[in-house]
């Protein structure tokens, strides 16, 4: 599972410290990847509706050659390549074997706190 959330740097450090302490006590920890954003506006600026659609389609059809995506999605090649690069950098989409792309996650858990 990939967790994407809005959290302050302080909250992220507290979560890291908690995980560290649990590991030192020998507790079993489930592997989880995490992406944090400082604000909802930042999250929405990065994970736009077009990028969510790209994630969904790659998950549905992947692994798939990146060259096949413009026809599948109906978008221009250059902006699509930029989106792929960003989503790959975040770890949401994997690019491997030259040009194969896939979403390695069965689930993305999106968390936005309503209260501080």
Domain ranges of the chain: 2-111
Model pLDDT for residues 10-51, shown as the tens digit of each residue: 776 777 677 778 778 888 766 568 888 989 999 999 999 999
Model pTM score: 0.81
Element containing residue 102 per DSSP (H, E) = strand 100-102
pLDDT at residue 29 in the model: 64
Is there a contact between 34 and 3 (Cβ–Cβ < 8 Å)? Answer: yes
- What percent of the chain has a predicted confidence (pLDDT) above 90? 64
User: Rounded to whole angstroms, what are the CA distances from 1 to 32, 68, 109, 110, 112?
Assistant: 6, 26, 7, 11, 16
Mean pLDDT of 75-101: 93
User: Does domain 2-111 correspond to CATH entry 3.30.230.70?
Assistant: no
Token reading at 94: 């994997």
Distance of CA 6 to the CA centre of its chain: 13
Query: Could you tell me whether strands 108-111 and 33-37 are parallel, antiparallel, or unpaired per DSSP bridges?
Result: unpaired
Contacts of 67 (CB under 8 A, 6+ apart): 99
């Amino acid at each position: 599972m990939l967790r994407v959330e809005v959290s302050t740097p302080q909250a992220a450090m507290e979560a890291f410290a908690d995980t560290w302490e649990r590991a030192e006590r020998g507790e079993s920890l489930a592997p989880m990847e995490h992406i944090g954003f400082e604000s909802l506006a930042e999250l929405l600026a990065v994970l736009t509706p077009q990028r969510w659609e790209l994630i969904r389609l790659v998950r549905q059809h992947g692994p798939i050659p990146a060259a096949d995506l413009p026809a599948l999605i109906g978008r221009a090649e250059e902006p699509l390549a930029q989106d792929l690069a960003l989503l790959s950098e975040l770890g949401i989409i994997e690019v491997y074997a030259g040009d194969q792309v896939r979403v390695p996650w069965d689930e993305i858990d999106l968390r936005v706190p309503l209260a501080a």
